[in-house]
Structure 1
Amino acid sequence: MIEYMNVHGNPNIGVYIFANNSIALVPPTITEKDKKKIADILDVEVIDVKIADMIINGVMVAGNDKGLLLPRIVKPEEYDSLREYIGDKIRLEILEIRQTALGNLIAANNYGAFVSPTIDKSAIEKIKQVLGVETVYQRHLADIPTVGSMIVVTNRGGVVHPGVSDEEIKVLGNVFRVEFATATVNFGLYFVKAGLVANDKGALVGDETTGPELMRIQQALRLGG
Structure 2
Amino acid sequence: MTFNVAKMQVFGNSNVGVYIFANDKIALVPPDMEQKDKQLIEDVLGVDVYEVTIMGTRLIGVLVAGNNNGLLVPSTITEGELQTLKEALGNSMNIGVVPSSNNAIGNLVAANSHGALVYPGLDNSTTKLISDVLGVEVAKRAISGISTVGAVIAVTDIGGLSHPDTGDDELEFLKDLFKVPFKTGTINFGVSFIKTGLVVNNRGAIVGANTSGPEIARIQMVFSGL
Task: State the TM-score, normalized to the length of structure 1.
Answer: 0.97
Aligned to 1:66: 69
AA matched with 2:26 = I
For residues 64-143 of structure 1, the aligned pairs below 5 Å read: 64-133=67-136, 135-143=137-145
Give unmatched runs, 5+ long, in structure 1: none
Q: Distance in 1 between matches of 2:52 and 2:220?
A: 28
Secondary structure class of the residue paired with 1:193? helix
Deviation at 1:118, TM superposition (A): 2.0
Alignment partner, residue 197 of structure 2: 195
State the one-letter code of the partner of 1:197: V
What are the residue-to-residue correspondences of 1:196-211 with 2, within 5 Å? 196-211=198-213
The residue that corresponds to 2:153 in the other structure is 151
Name 1:28's counterpart in structure 2: 31
Shift, 1:223, TM fit:
6.5
Report the residue type matching 2:101 in the other structure: R
Distance in 2 between residues matched to 1:187 and 1:160, nearest whole Å = 15
> Out of 215, 218, 224, which is 1:216 matched to?
218
Contact residue 160 and residue 223 of structure 2 kept, 8 A: yes
Tell me the secondary structure at the aligned position of residue 221 of structure 1. Answer: helix
Partner of 1:6: 9
Change (3 A) 1:77 1:16: same
Number of aligned positions between the proteins: 223
**Segments ≥4 residues shifted beyond 2 Å:** none
Q: Residue type of the partner of 1:27?
A: P
> What is aligned with 2:43?
40
One-letter code of the match for 1:45?
D
Q: Which runs of 5+ in 2 are unaligned?
A: none
| Cα drift, residue 121 of structure 1 | 2.3
Question: What CA RMSD, in Å, does the superposition of the two structures yield over aligned residues?
Answer: 1.0
TM-score calculated relative to the size of structure 2: 0.97
Structure 2 counterpart SS, 1:205: strand
1:163 to partner: Cα distance: 1.0
Amino acid at match of 1:50: T
The superposition leaves residues 20-73 of structure 1 with CA deviations (integer Å, 9 ceiling, x where unpaired) of 001000001210110000000000010000000010000000100000010011
1:85-141 deviations in Å (ceiling 9; x for gaps):
1111100121112111000010000000000112222211111110011x2110111
Q: Residue 142 of structure 1 contacts residue 164 of structure 1 at CA under 8 Å; is this kept in 2?
A: yes
- Please tell me whether the aligned partners of residues 184 and 191 of structure 1 are also in contact (alpha carbons under 8 angstroms): yes
Mapped to 1, the partners of 2:185 and 2:216 lie a distance apart of 9
Task: Give secondary structure in 2 for the equivalent of 1:194.
Answer: helix
In structure 2, what is the equivalent of residue 173 of structure 1? 175
CA deviation digits over 1:141-183, x for unaligned, max 9?
Answer: 1111110000000000010100111000000000100001101
* SS of equivalent residue, structure 1 residue 77: helix
Identity %: 45
The 3-state SS of whatever aligns with 1:107 is strand
